Chain A
Amino acid sequence: MSFQEKSAWVMLVALSCSVIFYVVSLFNLTINSGALPSPSAPALLGLAIVTVVIAIAGHIIAAVLNPKEANAPADERERLIVQKAGHLSSHVLAVGVVLALLSFLLIQDGQILFYGCFASLVLSHLAEYALHIVFNRRSLN
């Protein structure tokens, strides 16, 4: 497994764990208060910190296991994988943001607009990491 693929796995796990934690917290708050809570900076900061901590720990472990690969620059195939995965995942972000904007036009709810855009951002990143893994294992065709 290349370092790029290991890195993608680490980021996929880190982001998935922190998002699951965030969504469960948000769900519990919604159940308790009976309404979707406003987006809060501390909760989002917590999400970012959990993601960064898991990502750093994972990358340190991956780098210690194979320092030579970790320090090597990306080669032509890896750069192509990054470009292609980034291009495809950008569609997820674009569609999500457009849907969130449309929902705002229809129901005028700023919270749904925020959560819609945020979910699109998270999903596009998850898609990007997943595509890194897929393209590392299969043809780039």
Chain B
Amino acid sequence: MPKPFPISNNVRVLREQVGLTQSELGEAIGVTRQTVAAIEQRRYSPSLETAFRLARLFETDINAVFYWNDESEESA
């Protein structure tokens, strides 16, 4: 089974706070709904550009959206 990416995120929480669906969020940042779902489930680490687009859309710092998950690194 593939290990999850060591970078965790709060995309789902922040998306629900602003009341967007995965499709709406994907459209806003230029990716598909499936990519948003993959980011939320830690199956995909987005590019730096998409990460910044997410932070700008949520009007927050990029560190509030993405953070390094030490547990993933230790278990790897």
Contact = CB atoms under 8 A, between A and B. Distances in A.
Interface of A: 1-2, 5, 69, 72, 75-78, 136, 138-141
Contact of A69 (B2, B30, B32): B32
Q: Quick one: which of B3, B4, B33, B35 has the most chain A CB within 10 A?
A: B35
Contacts of B47: 76
A77 B38 contact: yes
Interface of B: 2-5, 26, 30-35, 38, 42-44, 46-47, 50
Given A2-B32, A139-B5, A76 B46 contact: yes
Contacts, number: 43
The secondary structure that dominates the B interface is loop
B5 A141 contact: yes
Contacts of A138: 2, 43
A136 B33 CA distance: 12
B2 A141 contact: yes
A140 B5 CA distance: 9
Contact of B35 (A5, A76, A141): A76
The secondary structure that dominates the A interface is loop
A116 B61 CA distance: 56
Contacts of A136: 34
A77 B5 contact: no
A141 B3 contact: yes
B35 A77 contact: yes
B4 A141 contact: yes
Nearest to B42: A139
A140 B41 CA distance: 12
Contacts of A77: 31-32, 34-35, 38, 44, 46
Contacts of A140: 43-44
A138 B32 CA distance: 16
Contacts of A76: 31, 35, 46-47, 50
B32 A139 contact: no
Given A76-B31, A77-B35, A77-B44, 6 more contacts: A2-B34, A69-B32, A72-B32, A77-B31, A77-B32, A139-B2
